[in-house]
Amino acid sequence: MKFTLYATAKVLPGNKIEVRDLNLEVGQTVEVVIVISESTPDSSFREEESLSLKQRLDFLKLPISERRRILKRQAETMLEYYQQDSEFKDF
C-alpha cells in the first residue's frame, strides 16, 4: 500500500535536503518529488509568516462555521492562483 508524505524542507549546506519520518524504514525505497517555488516579492514564503502552534490552536477553537468561512476564502484564492499558473495546468 502507498501513502504520501508531504514535507517542507530547507536546503542545507552542500545543497542537501534531509527528510525524516518515523514511517520510513532503513533501506526502504521511496519516490521523492521536489517542487521548487518561484521567489517573487509578493508570493515568496517566509518563515516568519508561518502560523505558530498557538495560532493554529486558536484557529481550531473557532466555531466550525467561522473555520469553514476562512478555509473557503483561502481555497478560492488558491483556485485563482492555480488557474493562472500554466505550468500547473500542464502538470
Rounded Cα gap, residues 66 and 87, in angstroms: 33
pTM above 0.85, yes or no: no
Q: What are 57-76's pLDDT values in tens digits?
A: 888 888 898 889 889 988 88
Q: Which residues of the chain have pLDDT under 50?
A: 41, 43-45
Cell of 27: 533501506
Candidates 67, 45, 47, 72; CA nearest to 57 is: 67
- Please, what is the Cα angle at 49 between 47 and 55, to 5 degrees? 110
Candidates 43, 19, 40, 15; CA nearest to 30 is: 19
